Amino acid sequence: MMELGRMQKLAVVNEEQRGLFLAGGVLLPRQQAPQGLATGDEIEVFVYQDPAAGLVATPVRPKLLLGELAMLKVVDTTKFGAFLDWGLEKDLLLPHKEQVGQVIKGQSYLVGLFVNARGRLTATMRVYDLLQAGAPYKKNDRVQGVIYSINRELGAFVAVDNKYHGLIANNELFGSHAPGDQVTVRVKQVRPDGKLDLSLREAAHHEIEHDAQKIMDKLQLNGGVLLLNDYSPPEEINAQLAMSKRAFKRAVGRLLLQEAITITDTGIQARDGS
């Protein structure tokens, strides 16, 4: 049975001047048909709806199939929406109502594919319902993902492997991020529903060493002085060091034990020779 948006094998039913007709009334344009293909033969094709020609097939596998997610580049923006390069002659439409945040020409975004009310394949950035739970990962695994949405109250939603549900909570999210950003993250925990809680940080024992080194590097750049202490606002610490206040205090504690710094009235100072 013919399906839009998927690779499938269809038999050649008859031949006309403009091309070969496949089972289901699908046109395989002559310029797309391999030489020697004849009535009764089968060919694997991708089927889509063309506004001018109806159901059309191509042997080219696009960058995105129905049921998948993929990072696609914006090649144009118009009053109808954005057009994406998905590897076919005609670009894929991402309507305004299916966009999340600002969509910029030349940038790539994570999208899924669906069949709209007019029977045409259409892109969407609203991919939450297209993701799965039950990723094959455990606590502290490092995974790859794409941020597809940011909620100020919850954090950044991530498609892990372009397939699984993930969330970087606000207290684990540092620096500036936007939809479309590709990130390497740590699995903080696997929730009972199979979704992943993620962190941009390493596990605590690794993170302390990393943060301590970051503070020492900052001290070196600042002539051995850093105007941050226990009373500094979390926002100021994050702005200067891209870490939470809790992480800052743990790292400072480690550096004090190592006698690498001293506490001053205004912040911290590197010891001579550190």
Q: Write out pLDDT tens, residues 229-255.
A: 888 999 999 899 988 888 899 899 989
Is there a single domain that holds both residue 143 and residue 175?
yes
Note whether residue 63 is domain-resident: no
pLDDT (0 to 100) of residue 202 = 64
- Do residues 210 and 266 both lie within one domain? yes
Instruction: Mark whether 52 and 93 lie in a shared domain.
Output: no
In a domain, 156, yes or no: yes
What's the whole-model pTM score? 0.70
The answer to the question of residue 148 being in a domain is yes
The domain of 21 spans: 7-58
- Quick one: 209 and 266 in the same domain? yes
In a shared domain, residues 237 and 212: yes
User: Of 58, 80, 95, which closes a domain?
Assistant: 58
The answer to whether residue 105 is domain-embedded is: yes
CATH number at residue 73: 2.40.50.140
Per-residue pLDDT of the chain (274 residues; tens, 9 = 90+): 789 999 999 999 999 888 999 999 999 999 999 988 989 999 999 999 988 878 999 999 999 999 999 999 999 999 999 999 999 989 999 999 999 888 999 999 999 999 999 989 999 999 999 999 999 999 989 999 999 999 989 999 999 999 999 999 988 887 788 888 999 999 999 999 999 999 987 655 567 788 889 999 999 999 999 999 888 999 999 899 988 888 899 899 989 988 899 999 889 999 875 5
Same domain, 114 and 163: no
Identify the pLDDT of residue 22.
96
CB atoms within 10 A of CB 261: 23
Do residues 124 and 136 share a domain? no
Within a domain: 152 = yes
Judge whether 169 and 222 are in contact, CB under 8 Å: no
Give the number of domains in the chain: 4
Q: Is residue 64 part of a domain?
A: no
Last residue of a domain, one of 128, 147, 169: 128
Residue with tokens 């929730």: 191
Q: DSSP secondary structure string, the chain?
A: ---TTSEEEEEEEEEETTEEEETTTEEEEGGGSPTT--TT-EEEEEEEEETTTEEEEESSPPS--TT-EEEEEEEEEETTEEEEE-SSSSPEEEEGGG--S---TT-EEEEEEEE-TTS-EEEES--GGG-BS--S--TT-EEEEEEEEEETTTEEEEEETTTEEEEEEGGG--S---TT-EEEEEEEEE-TTS-EEEESS--HHHHHHHHHHHHHHHHHHTTTEE---TTS-HHHHHHHHSS-HHHHHHHHHHHHHTT-EEE-SSSEEEPTT-
Res 137: pLDDT: 95
Residues 190 and 211 in one domain: no
Q: Domain containing 43 — which CATH number? A: 2.40.50
Is 1 domain-assigned? Answer: no
